[in-house]
Structure 1
Amino acid sequence: MSEIKKNSRNTENAPKSPFSTQTVAFSHYNNFSGQLPIDPKTGEIISSDIKEQTEQCLKNIQSIVESIGHVMDDAVKLTVFLKNISDADAVDEVYKTFFKSHLPTRTTVVVEALPLDGALIQIDALISNGEGTTPQKALELVKITRNTENAPKSIHAHNVAFSHYSNISAQLPINPQSGKIVAGGVKEQAEQCLKNIQAILESIGHVMNDVVKTTIFLKDISDAVIVNEVLANFFPSYVPARTIINASALPMDALIQIDTAVSHGDGTPPQLPEDARFLAIEANNTEKAPKVSYSHTVAYSHYNHISGQLPLVPGNNQIVGSGIKEQASQCLNNIRAIVESINHKMDDIVKVNIQLKNVADITAVNEIYTSFFSGDLPARTVIGVSAIPSNALIQIDAVVSNSEGTPA
């Protein structure tokens, strides 16, 4: 098989950054950088009104989408980061006007800070890419949107499958029958989130072991220990890649929300199930990165998903130093060790997600960040959070291209 190429693109019609690419396409997906409510002509935040800011974020996404020959209905997943949970309804009013068909899957979370003062919202996106990237041949792949009565109802799709991945809307601990948060603490809430995910998967003929990555949003980062125990019951043998992120608030005042990326070996038409249903999930760990109870990286089809990396020294699993530059370097060194352990390089990364205790530290992070790449920079999303596991100042996870695919 010829090596599939990564396609990095920018447009003048959306805000540019020297530290990221607006969209990086690889195989059948486009990975977008988080878009802030910036007017691309002035480079400034447009206003202090949440509806106007939401519209600007989505206009920026739309400009990027159209610059690569796509439309907004090609979106399969959007992630909305808010400063205030009370803004969620206003966001939904604007959000729905940008789509003509079924709404894509979505995750909504409130974070401590966003990269620019005055920003109330940031949105990033995952867009289908039926034409593939060189040397793949263009296919009129079908996006399949599905819902089930066995999971909580929402204006967003429960599941959007495209090519060899299924994208599930982040699940809250809502009882599908009552539509209310389940009784109990974080243990019971974590179980309900996972039951909802399981119900969605079973409704599309999949199982929990088809999950390749979980992102856990927690109101209290110390709840991670309990949540990890619950996760072990749902993934007793194979454990997906994982990132744990502190949320300042979650919809319905939940304690936890779980986001997942799921393998989809059956593909979407005109791909034939018999061609790909035996694609393997490949989970890998390396001694050169900090030890964790979950997979360092999980490859499926043409993507590798890397667990959130903390600034831990692999030999002793202790936080390195006390400065942001030192900690950022350690996170990126850990990612590089994982990437190299699967015979890839940093320039194979298509998307980077950075969480910072102090969002103003991004300036210092940027000073060392670019030194880890020699080609076009990946798409990137940056958020500020009030806590990070191990009391770190920074956490980074990544999505990596996997041109060799995974074996059938």
Structure 2
Amino acid sequence: MSGYNAVLARNTENAPKSIGPYSQTVAFSHYNNLSAQLPVNLKSGKLVVGGVKEQAGQCFKNIKAIIESIDHVMDDIIRVTIFLKNISEIQTVYEVYAEFFPNYVPVLTTVAVKALPMEALVQVEALVSHGEGTIINKPQAGDLIKVVGNTKNAPVSPLSAQTVAFSHYNNISAQLPIDPKSGKVVAGGVKEQVRQCLKNIKTILESIDVPFDDIVKITIYLKDLSDIDDVNEVYKTFFPDSAIARAAAYVPARTIVAVSALPLDALVQIEAVVSHGDGTPPQIVEARHGIVIKANNTENAPKNSLSTQTVAFSHYNHISAQLPLDPKTGEKVAGGVKEQARQCLKNIKAILEDVDHVTDDIVKINIFLKNIEDIDAVDEIYTTFFPGGVPARRTVGVSALLEDALVQIEAVVSHAEGTPPEVR
């Protein structure tokens, strides 16, 4: 590692302490990764009294407190992800959300999941810009600006931007299978809906002159996990997209999440994180880095033809969600949730070590549990990999996982050396 950038974990007493071994926010380079916030009252340490409106308000208050503790503001948020217990309460949550974003709106993902920690009704996560960066003893100018993009050729929402670019990443709002002309969900089943989601993403990218193969990470939220074969059938018609990508057999990192419900009663929703090689102002055309995507697979972790194990771009590595599969046999490991959590984390560790990184480089961990009650058992294993509790974290309970697994884990990793030609 070059030591040029450093992982910066921070906590404030103005927001509730994390309920597990993780930090409230972890910054690296030009992004702050916040742990998903539960509706916990600072003074009592318990869920706030009331229903989903009060709980959503508390989640956003907690996010605001964390952001202000690191000298940032709510308008520095790039992405918001809302996890709901009941999709029927979405409008109530959106009313609260709008109070915190009266002018600028970030990109947005909203899904309903089977369960949340502490039996909460809502959990909210934020990704925040970090203009000053994390260069050791050398703050940057801090004058990078967000670039917000919307096109009429893709579905438009008053609650979210279609794309928000900052530094070397574009973040795309999760796309529902909405026909932009009619504003309604397309007719047909899951195949037609997947196709429309990906068409919407491609249209958004074309509107900002970004090729589809610049996607580094895809997350697919699926109502019925048994539809995965149909999803993959359509997915393969979009990736790889160009002759160059086909020659390299490039596909993004990927995560599949089974949800209990989606907005508009959709069957699928797709979210993308996209490379942005030319950066955001004040970077000028003449100063573009020409940074490249660097994808890698190792024999020491499970492989999948539809996803790359890790895709690095600029100062981040994006890891495909890992199931508890033994890379030698391709089979799920024997045992319960502890054994499965250990295997997921071993797979992530193997992927990182193959690209000369270590688990201490991880800035964010996302845990998907079949049974939310298993969280303590998972934490017992988790602390053996992260004894300092540094990464930010999100934990949700899902209705099902591929391979009938009990747990699935994904990671976002710092990449201090950057990708060529930005080698330090």
> What does residue 153 of structure 1 align with?
156
Alignment of 1:276-287 (within 5 A): 276-287=288-299
For 1:86, the equivalent position in structure 2 comes to 88
Q: Give the Å deviation of 1:139.
A: 2.4
Aligned counterpart in structure 1 of residue 101 of structure 2, from 86, 99, 102: 99
Q: Look up the equivalent residue of 1:107 and give its one-letter code.
A: T
Q: Distance in 2 between matches of 1:86 and 1:2?
A: 48
Give 1:122's aligned residue: 123
Distance in 2 between residues matched to 1:290 and 1:11, nearest whole Å: 38
Instruction: Say which of 173, 181, 198 aligns to 1:194.
Output: 198
Matched, 1:216 2:220: yes
- Counterparts of residues 343-358 of structure 1 (less than 5 Å): 343-358=356-371
Quote how far apart the aligned CAs of 1:47 are: 2.1
1:70 is displaced (CA, Å) by 0.2
- State the SS of the aligned residue for 1:4: coil
Q: Shift of the alpha carbon at 1:2?
A: 4.5
Which whole-Å CA distance do the structure 1 matches of 2:369 and 2:387 have between them? 24
Answer yes or no: is the 8 Å Cα contact 2:21–2:389 preserved in 1: no
Helix, strand or coil at the partner of 2:156? coil
CA drift of 1:277 comes to 4.9
Q: Which string of whole-angstrom CA distances, capped at 9 and with x for unpartnered residues, describes residues 130-181 of structure 1? A: 0000235232111111110010111210010000000110000000000111
Q: Distance in 1 between matches of 2:419 and 2:336?
A: 39
Displaced runs of 4 or more, over 6 A: none
Alpha-carbon distance between aligned partners in 2 of 1:229 and 1:336, rounded to the nearest angstrom: 30
- 1:276, 1:110 → 2: CA distance? 40
TM-aligned CA deviation for residue 19 of structure 1: 1.0
Deviation at 1:228, TM superposition (A): 1.6
Separation (CA, whole Å) in 2 of partners of 1:261 and 1:288: 26
For residues 64 and 260 of structure 2, what CA distance do their matches in structure 1 show?
A: 28
Moved more, 46-55 or 207-216: 46-55
- 2:397 paired with 1:387: no
Match in the other structure for 2:5: 4
Q: Which one of the candidate residues 337, 348, 351 is aligned to 2:350?
A: 337
Structure 2: any 5+ residue segments left out of the alignment? 241-245
In the alignment, is the contact (CA less than 8 A) between 2:146 and 2:166 conserved in 1?
yes
SS in 1 for 2:390: coil
- SS of the equivalent of 1:217 reads strand
Of 258, 271, 279, 1:267 maps to: 279
Change (3 A) 1:205 1:277: farther
Task: Answer whether contact 2:21 2:388 (CA < 8 A) is retained.
Answer: no
Identity score, percent: 60
Secondary structure, counterpart of 1:364 in structure 2: helix
Aligned pairs for 1:5-404 within 5 A: 5-17=6-18, 18-117=20-119, 119-135=120-136, 137-155=140-158, 156-236=160-240, 237=246, 238-293=250-305, 294-404=307-417
Contact between 2:74 and 2:101, CA under 8 Å: does it hold in 1? yes
Q: List gaps (5 residues or longer) in structure 1.
A: none
Is 2:175–2:271's contact at 8 Å kept on the other side of the alignment? yes
Contact 2:383 2:389 in 1 (8 A): no
Cα separation, 2, equivalents of 1:273 and 1:315: 47
- Amino acid aligned to 1:16: K
| Shift in Å, 1:376 | 4.5
Q: Secondary structure at the match of 1:39?
A: coil
Q: Which whole-Å CA distance do the structure 1 matches of 2:324 and 2:232 have between them?
A: 20
CA shift at 1:79, angstroms? Answer: 0.3
CA distance in 2, matches of 1:212, 1:277: 18
TM-score between the two structures when normalised by the length of structure 1: 0.98
**CA apart distance, 1:374:** 4.6
Deviation at 1:3, TM superposition (A): 2.4
Contact 1:165 1:262 in 2 (8 A): yes
2:243 corresponds in structure 1 to: none
1:187 deviates by 0.7
Q: Which amino acid is 2:68 matched to?
A: E
Q: How many angstroms apart in 2 are the aligned matches of 1:198 and 1:239? A: 15
Cα-Cα RMSD: 1.1
Contact kept, 8 Å, 1:33 with 1:125, in 2: the verdict is yes
